[in-house]
């Protein structure tokens, strides 16, 4: 598949921000200010805000997707405080899996993340699988090896055609560029997107995974997004802190719209 056929996606990860009292209004404002043809928009609020955000986005006529920030790797069981994929039916249609903060804070392994992918597919949730290296791994020249290992560990257990049909999205997030003041370059992201596609091909995805969108996520802002969206191998962004600011989201989605128009996705 040629790059022009891949979706252009901007996904907002609100992390542990907002409450049910204010999340709906923020989602409504962002939806209204980011109506750009050809760009798939997703908002991923905290679990307790999913219903409020979904309700608010009804006014957007389904144009903005709702995603969860995590799911458990088991279908059900004695896992206090966890959320199973099936519990999200009717509340979300997307889910972030394997975010670096989950790997760091919850000790999630590639094997668990792979199981989460299976749960997402079973529940008809479109997965955004996050991969990325730590600063010391990049400085040691191991960034590519780390991302290859993460992809292989999460994806190898699944049938590539099934994941592709489920709408798998990969988000490359260099951990060293998240909230540190350090930034990756568009060339850095493009190089890693290339490694991601080679690895997808090795795992068994047709045409080196050319049909799979690759997003960039690493302290994305409206002032920095142009450098990444100018790269043909980058198909959008997973936005963290800036996704809580309507002005920032408007700027990011507007720039993504330029790429969507260039790919012929606006008509």
Q: Which residues pair with 97 in a beta bridge?
A: 129
99 assigned to active site: yes
173 assigned to active site: yes
Token representation of residue 116: 């989460």
Given the residues 72, 99, 108, 231, the one annotated as active site = 99
Contact assessment for residue 131 and residue 151, using Cβ atoms and an 8 Å cutoff: yes
Contact assessment for residue 40 and residue 53, using Cβ atoms and an 8 Å cutoff: no
Given the residues 108, 133, 137, 173, the one annotated as active site = 173
214 Cβ contact list (under 8 Å, min separation 6): 169, 170, 171, 172, 193, 196, 197, 233, 234, 235
Contact assessment for residue 210 and residue 2, using Cβ atoms and an 8 Å cutoff: yes
Q: How far apart are CA 122 and CA 126, in angstroms?
A: 10
Token representation of residue 133: 């290296």
Catalytic residues, by residue number, are 99, 173
């Amino acid at each position: 598949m040629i790059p022009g056929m891949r979706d252009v996606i901007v996904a907002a990860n609100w992390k542990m921000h907002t409450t049910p009292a204010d999340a709906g209004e923020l989602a409504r404002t962002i939806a209204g200010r980011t109506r750009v043809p050809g760009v798939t928009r997703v908002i991923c609020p905290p679990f307790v805000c999913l219903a409020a955000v979904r309700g608010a986005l009804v006014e957007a006529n389904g144009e903005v997707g709702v995603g969860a920030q995590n799911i458990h790797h088991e279908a059900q069981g004695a896992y206090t405080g966890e959320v199973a994929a099936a519990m999200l039916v009717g509340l979300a249609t997307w889910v972030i899996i394997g975010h670096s903060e989950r790997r760091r804070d919850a000790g999630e392994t590639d094997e668990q993340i792979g199981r989460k992918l299976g749960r997402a597919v079973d529940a008809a949730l479109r997965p955004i699988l996050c991969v990325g290296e730590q600063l010391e791994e990049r400085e040691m020249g191991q960034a590519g090896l780390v991302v290859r290992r993460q992809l292989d560990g999460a994806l190898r257990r699944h049938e590539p055609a099934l994941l592709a049909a489920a709408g798998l999205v990969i988000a490359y997030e260099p951990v060293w560029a998240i909230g540190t003041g350090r930034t990756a370059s568009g060339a850095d992201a493009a190089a890693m997107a290339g490694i991601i596609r080679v690895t997808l091909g090795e795992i068994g995805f047709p045409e080196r995974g050319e049909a799979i969108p690759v997003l960039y996520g690493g302290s994305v802002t409206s002032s920095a997004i142009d450098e990444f969206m100018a790269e043909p191998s980058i198909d959008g962004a997973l936005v963290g802190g800036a996704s809580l600011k309507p002005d920032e989201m408007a700027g990011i989605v507007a720039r993504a719209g330029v790429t969507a128009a260039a790919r012929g996705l606006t008509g």
